[in-house]
Amino acid sequence: MSALVTLARDGAVATLTVNRPEKLNALDREVLAALGARVAELAADPSIACAILTGAGEKAFVAGADIGEMQALDVAGARAFAQAGHATLAALEALPIPVIAAVNGFALGGGCELALACDFIHASERARFGQPEVKLGVIPGFGGTQRLARRVGIARARELVYSGAMIGAEEALRIGLVNAVHPAAELARAVAELARTIASMGPRAVAKAKEVLREGEGLRLADANALEVEGFAACFATADQKEGMSAFLEKRAARFTGA
């Protein structure tokens, strides 16, 4: 397996690290392929209940797509590159387990898009976000125009995309792009603690919650609520539901098995 994206396991928590610090973890075709392979590895591992995605080094989560590789692309090549990015990020987004982006530095262009494909983002105080593609004469190509608008609202997304502005972690928190900001030295610990908390919950319930939240996002409220009813009911066919409720009534910690 490629060392461009590493995978470490700690109990039920996995950490994916984009490992190209000499290029600020920039996404080229090889990195996208390595990330896709790691995502497939996670999808096939039922022992993992939550994942963290981060970047190697202190400067960048992912500074963007690799401009050196993109510069020579023609229209067909650009389309293929964008499609590869979309496919990888869609696979990440579709994982049944929650994925937390731990943004430790620059998350620009493709890096911001990668973070947006995670369930939510925790950031270092040093983190910087943006979709600066218009400065290069192009637009976001890995979902930035769409996921950013869904995260922060269409008007804020328009402003960020049209201006190519880079914003700091506190501004990203204010507009709802990130969930929390931590001192740089505490980011990894804080995110790992949260991931362990999520992993300790009923895994079938967390997976069903992710499914319902994701599928309901674009539906009319009545249809989304109907989806929730069916998801709620489905949980009662699981051993985890019986264990969770029995543990509550017996005033003990639940022992979930994912069954």
Catalytic annotation, residues: 113, 133
d(CA 223, CA 53): 32
List 129's β-bridge partners, or say none: 107, 167
Residue 210: count other Cβ atoms within 10 Å of its Cβ.
18
Alpha helix locations (H) across the chain?
29-43, 67-70, 75-93, 110-116, 144-152, 154-163, 169-174, 187-199, 203-216, 221-235, 239-249
Of the candidates 47, 36, 143, the residue with the CA atom closest to the CA atom of residue 91: 36
Of the candidates 139, 135, 119, 115, the residue with the CA atom closest to the CA atom of residue 127: 115
Tokens found for residue 175:
């507009």
Burial of 133 (0-12, 13-18, 19+ CB in 10 A): buried
